[in-house]
Amino acid sequence: QVQLVESGGGLVQAGGSLRLSCAASRSIFSAAAINAVGWYRQAPGKQRELVAPITRHGSTWYADSVKGRFTISRDNAWNTVYLQMNSLKPEDTAVYYCNAAPDLNGVSGFWGQGTQVTVSS
């Protein structure tokens, strides 16, 4: 079992930056069933979308909408996963969630409570 807590969200002007943190109650990949950690976001009236995952062996991927602006990373012990968000746009406004799961289906695994990111124009 892994408990996740997101933090770092807030209100920022377009072009600004935020760094989100996903703090885990234990080393995330000490749980055998966990293969990846993903940052998801959900805007009002929209489906939850995968923004950026990182796998057990460190591979990363980014949605086209954030590529070149966002970076996912982790600490050496895999206790925290970060999402550095630069050049923020109003379209990035959403609740951001951290997910540790066997796969990236958007529903399984462990989820945090979410952190609100609001980008003003």
Q: What is the pLDDT of residues 30-85, one digit of tens each?
A: 877 899 999 999 999 999 999 999 999 899 999 999 999 999 999 999 999 999 99
Instruction: Provide the pLDDT for residue 6.
Output: 98
Rounded to an integer, the average pLDDT of 11-32 is 93
CA-closest candidate to residue 39, choices 81, 87, 91: 81
Average pLDDT, the chain: 95
Query: Percentage of the chain surpassing pLDDT 90?
Result: 85
